[in-house]
């Protein structure tokens, strides 16, 4: 049972890791920890845009969070030269949900990413997290999620 085979089992083909939309790196390794930049939700090559509470349904928000999770995994794999098995633990997800001021179901939205991490990494995928709202996100994305990951030496 490898993380790669779990990905296959649930039918996920990792996308090409998205290039940063600005002057920074998608991921940096320091002291055995991988810090992954905030990832936006790509589905079929396009960013899921809009806000929860307005033009994005809860169901679509969950899909967007899962898409952020898939892109996080793609970035993790790229940062590890293709060897996803070096992941020891998904330590922390930092999740931001574009929301109107009356939408407070951010946890349900972000579960789209959290559930994915457990499906792919099992116990090693069960992470700490924060989930908050933002009035808007880069490129009008519905969700942005960053990650901290502990690595095998």
Q: Which residues bind a copy of itself (CB under 8 A)?
A: 21-28, 30-33, 35-38, 51, 88-89, 91-94, 96, 99-108, 110-111, 114-115, 118, 126-141, 144, 146, 148, 150
Shortest reach from residue 139's CB to a copy of itself, in Å? 6
Q: How many CA atoms lie within 13 A of 19 on its CB side?
A: 3
CB closer to a copy of itself out of 13 and 111:
111
CB closer to a copy of itself out of 13 and 101:
101
Q: How far apart are CA 63 and CA 99, in angstroms?
A: 15
Shortest reach from residue 102's CB to a copy of itself, in Å? 7
Q: How far apart are CA 93 and CA 72, in angstroms?
A: 10
Element (H, E) at 72: helix 58-79
Shortest reach from residue 152's CB to a copy of itself, in Å? 12
Q: How many CA atoms lie within 13 A of 148 on its CB side?
A: 11
């Amino acid at each position: 049972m490898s993380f790669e085979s779990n990905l296959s089992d649930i039918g996920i083909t990792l996308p090409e890791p998205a290039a940063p939309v600005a002057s920074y790196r998608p991921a940096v390794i320091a002291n055995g920890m991988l810090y992954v930049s905030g990832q936006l939700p790509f589905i079929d090559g396009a960013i899921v845009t809009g806000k929860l509470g307005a033009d994005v349904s809860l169901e679509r928000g969950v899909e967007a969070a899962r898409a952020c999770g898939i892109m996080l995994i793609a970035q993790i794999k790229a940062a590890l030269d293709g060897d996803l098995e070096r992941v020891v633990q998904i330590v922390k997800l930092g999740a931001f949900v574009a929301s109107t001021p009356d939408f407070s179901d951010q946890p349900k939205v972000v579960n789209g990413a959290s559930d994915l991490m457990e499906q792919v990494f099992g116990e090693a995928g069960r992470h700490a997290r924060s989930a908050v709202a933002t009035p808007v996100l880069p490129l009008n994305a519905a969700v942005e999620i960053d990650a901290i990951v502990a690595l095998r030496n």
